[in-house]
Structure 1
């Protein structure tokens, strides 16, 4: 049986992500993500705003999938992730998008917020003669079982690791037990794809973790770093300074950008923990 068939079966009582809504998406029942049985895409094309090791000369071939399994109150792409901006398409059309991006000469296929649309993605990838790496660009709240079914389709995992504090994860993203679930998923990702591999300055394989520092919540970042220090093989880590109050952030006290001092405290803690850090110059310029 094809991997996509196994994933489609899971839509009958959906447990693709740790929310395990249990709805039958094939029969029109909608879970937390708000997507049924077909791909929903917001936009696609070469993207030059990702990490330098993904962008290269020709850009990252990014597909923005509509909706999300998280409900982050500060999401900077909230029109797509929370408000459902996008278009329902067929799996065949999704496959043509993948093929078209590859033909453009992009450095990779970058699947943004793919978790809840994995069956459609895998079915499209099964028909693609892949010549570039596939990047799984997700929020970190992933099912180990789903990650295991992605073996052979994903070359680079790029999860967020948002929270080391479970209460903060529930308050700001609406999910329970985020740290432990993200940690187990990250271990599965690292085990599957192994050590990060770079060729001519471009990432070809491995895990790249992103962590966004939130104002006033440095302890949360320290806890995230403690989790990341336990991963083997060690992933690359991008500690990001780009928080800005978007969507409903002000309602939750997230009403300012972070300071340079806050960023450097987190960065230096990560360095002491011997994480494999990237992109500090970019964020110092940002601040």
Structure 2
């Protein structure tokens, strides 16, 4: 029913996905690539990572813009992908993108055919609806989340999403009660005080047992050149300030 009036994410486009596409531009699930990933957090590898095309964000600095902003890839029958997963040798299945949220109906079909007891990872921007969070309850073993922004203004200006803080804080709180969690935060140039600090403060208060990965690999991609403050790499001082603040908050930091 959600698919017919799509509200898997909080854009709530309410389109009939069997006939048209919403903001995410996802119709039939398109898998850009799938492979055993050794570049994720050490406790997760090798991770059988499924990259979907399409995303409900419009991040102007997206490093995967070639798949997030384009419908690029192939449709794999759910039963076939389930078989690939069962024999792939991964420690887990890592649903990512783009963004997995618009592809949830397909993912559920795959899992229906998957007989192996393999942990499931939801690798997401967490801008999904409450209805989606209810569907994920009991299915997902680990939420691998991307907590980008510390305020609504930056989220709207750089990723085109409204009410970011309310939605993402709510979903992190729900996910924190449902399963294990690793929260990733990508430090961005000129956004330490406005974004990194508030994100880390929220984690300290609301998800203190979650693992936190403070990431420094930002690089200006896609349309980052349109905004001077992010059209450069993060300098060492910016990353150090964010990392030291996380230590002050006594967060569970990953090496």
Q: Which category of TM-score, normalised to the shorter sequence, fits these structures? A: over 0.9
In the aligned structure 2, how far is the partner of 1:67 from the partner of 1:85?
A: 8
Q: Please show how residues 96-245 of structure 1 align to structure 2 within 5 Å.
A: 96-112=80-96, 113-193=99-179, 206-219=180-193, 220-232=195-207, 234-245=209-220
2:78/2:109 contact within 8 Å kept: no
1:98/1:109 contact within 8 Å kept: no
Aligned pair partner of 1:33 in 24, 44, 48:
24
1:39/1:94 contact within 8 Å kept: no
| Residue 202 of structure 1: aligned partner | none
| Residue 196 of structure 1: aligned partner | none
2:15/2:22 contact within 8 Å kept: yes
1:53-88 alpha-carbon deviations (Å, 9 max, x no partner): 111xxx11000011111111111000000122222x
1:190/1:233 contact within 8 Å kept: no
Gaps of 5+ in 1: 1-8, 194-205, 280-287
Aligned pair partner of 2:223 in 248, 259, 264:
248
User: What's the offset of the Cα at 1:98?
Assistant: 3.4
- Normalising to structure 2: TM-score of the pair? 0.95
1:164/1:223 contact within 8 Å kept: yes
SS of the aligned residue for 1:238 comes to strand
In the alignment, structure 1 residue 266 sits paired with structure 2 residue 252: no
User: What's the offset of the Cα at 1:97?
Assistant: 2.0
User: What's the offset of the Cα at 1:274?
Assistant: 1.5
Aligned pair partner of 1:51 in 22, 41, 46:
41
Instruction: Output the aligned Cα RMSD.
Output: 1.3
1:113-137 alpha-carbon deviations (Å, 9 max, x no partner): 2111101101211221132211100
Count of aligned pairs between the two proteins: 251
2:81/2:110 contact within 8 Å kept: no
2:86/2:114 contact within 8 Å kept: no
In the aligned structure 2, how far is the partner of 1:65 from the partner of 1:98?
A: 15
Gaps of 5+ in 2: none
Moved more, 17-26 or 98-107: 98-107
User: What's the offset of the Cα at 1:233?
Assistant: 5.8
In the aligned structure 2, how far is the partner of 1:147 from the partner of 1:233?
A: 20
1:207/1:235 contact within 8 Å kept: yes
Runs of 4+ in 1 over 3 A off after TM superposition: none
User: What's the offset of the Cα at 1:177?
Assistant: 1.5
User: What's the offset of the Cα at 1:145?
Assistant: 2.0
| Residue 6 of structure 1: aligned partner | none
Moved more, 102-111 or 69-78: 102-111
1:203-246 alpha-carbon deviations (Å, 9 max, x no partner): xxx11111100001111110111111122462111010000000
1:239-286 alpha-carbon deviations (Å, 9 max, x no partner): 10000000001112221111111111001111111111102xxxxxxx
Moved more, 127-136 or 215-224: 127-136
1:18/1:141 contact within 8 Å kept: yes
In the aligned structure 1, how far is the partner of 2:107 from the partner of 2:42?
A: 25
2:196/2:242 contact within 8 Å kept: yes
